[in-house]
Structure 1
Amino acid sequence: MAYIDFREAELSGSLSTAFAPRAEPEVTAHASGFSALEWLVVALARRDSLGSLRTPGRIGSALSRIFGGRGEPRLANPRLEALRRFAVFAWHRGHNVPPSELAAFRDAGFSPNQAETVLESILSTRAVKFARG
């Protein structure tokens, strides 16, 4: 979508600058190798249960439609879904993430260092929560 800033044209005295194409803002990765969106996925995974990782069966899906229930927690982006699944296991099981989830995390383009970063972040948050009671 185009954006025209007429204030800039007024200041410079030229409409050609107002119609110049603008670059879209990029989602940049932090020093950890994760973007803000990816850290948000990790934080939101804290509320997901291990049951959210299972594919609902036909009966479960039908009951959910009839009685209402929590929608499908899966993310449309496969990379973010791999991150969410990894983070859900980390929130609930700590370092005991299944090898299949580690492989899916790696296949989604994440590095072993990023896996350690997520685990350290989650475990330190869990430790603070546990210490507070």
Structure 2
Amino acid sequence: MAYLARIESDGANAIDLSAIEPPAIATTGTPVAGFLTLEWAIIRDARNDRLWTIRPVGALRRWWEGLLGRGIPKLANERLETLRRMAVLSWNYGRSVSGEDIDDFLAAGFTPDQYELLVGSVRAALRPSPSPQFVRAAA
């Protein structure tokens, strides 16, 4: 990632991020499902980003972050930053994202299918996996 962020682990909300593995690459070298490996990494990493990281930066926040010696978390590429913003919103709100944010996502060059893939992958990762003690053995 193009920024440094403090990663805070929350043991109570452990999530298996292996559900968001990148899709298989076709023989042409283009991703089958619509995201590049770097974009999948941004989607996975957005799970650790807080909502304050996507708010507009004002003078007071810039001063406060400078005082604490932290930078403003933002990716250098605007298209990837838009993907990160949508991923952070999807991790926190699921499909309840405002239309303006979806419009920004689509204006950055992403497709509606990629939005559905993003939200579906995030929801799949958040879905609790069945506990081994409750899984019935096949007879």
> One fold, TM greater than 0.5?
yes
% of aligned pairs identical? 35
1:55 matched to 2:53? The reply is: no
SS of residue in 2 equivalent to 1:55? coil
Alignment check: 8 A CA contact 1:82 1:104 kept? yes
**Large movers: runs of 4+ above 4 Å:** none
CA positional deviation for 1:61: 1.2
Q: Which residue of 2 aligns with 1:96?
A: 96
Alignment check: 8 A CA contact 1:29 1:36 kept? no
Q: Which residue of 1 aligns with 2:109?
A: 109
- Identify the structure with the greater helix proportion: 1
Alignment check: 8 A CA contact 1:90 1:97 kept? yes
Structure 1: 5+ residue runs without aligned partners? 1-27
Greater C-alpha radius of gyration: 1
Indicate the RMSD between aligned Cα atoms, in angstroms.
Answer: 1.6
What CA distance in whole angstroms lies between the structure 2 residues aligned with 1:128 and 1:120? Answer: 14
Deviations 1:5-58 (A, max 9, x none): xxxxxxxxxxxxxxxxxxxxxxx4321111000101101111111111112221
User: What's the TM-score once normalised by structure 1's chain length?
Assistant: 0.71
CA positional deviation for 1:63: 1.8
User: What's the TM-score once normalised by structure 2's chain length?
Assistant: 0.68
Q: Which residue of 2 aligns with 1:44?
A: 45
Structure 2: 5+ residue runs without aligned partners? 1-28, 132-139
